[in-house]
Amino acid sequence: MATERTLSIIKPDATRRNLTGRINAKFEDAGLRIVAQKRIKLSPEQAGKFYEVHKDRPFYGELVEFMASEPVVVQVLEGEDAIARNREVMGATNPENAEPGTIRKEFALSVGENSVHGSDAPETAKEEIAFFFSGLELVG
């Protein structure tokens, strides 16, 4: 297993409910190190571009509106097998199907307002990290 980096977003439903610290504790307890982090408010254009891969899905408009509704916390997590490990800590997209102890099981409100985003593969992780962070913001 290699040390990897993955892009994580704490979504508006979670920042609004002041859950950033509790979600970060889940990452750290799972061995993921938060190597970069910032709180930003996405414009609808930026949210639309980030989720462009879903543009033909029926929930795209709703997703973009939600992601631009309130601030998000974008972060880079680093660790052994970080992409898969983060997906495990996040839990299934729909909180009803998420395992006990996962972020989405404990905190998500619905399949749409599901508290966190995490990259799903090495190529997307690289692209998504570059979408939000410059090289200068990423210390080893």
User: Quick check: 108 and 98 in contact, CB under 8 A?
Assistant: yes
- From the list 31-39, 55-63, 73-81, 130-138, the region that binds ligand ADP by CB under 6 A is 55-63
Check binding of 117 to ligand ADP (CB under 6 A). yes
Find the binding residues for ligand ADP in span 83-112 (CB under 6 A): 93, 111-112
Tell me the C-alpha distance between 6 and 70, whole Å. Answer: 22
Tell me the C-alpha distance between 18 and 25, whole Å. Answer: 13
Tell me the residue type at 72. Answer: V
- From the list 25-33, 42-50, 57-65, 121-129, the region that binds ligand ADP by CB under 6 A is 57-65
Tell me the C-alpha distance between 93 and 84, whole Å. Answer: 14
Check binding of 115 to ligand ADP (CB under 6 A). no
The residues of the shown chain that bind ligand ADP, judged by CB under 6 A, are: 54, 59, 62-63, 93, 111-112, 114, 117, 120
Give the residue numbers annotated as catalytic, written as ranges: 117
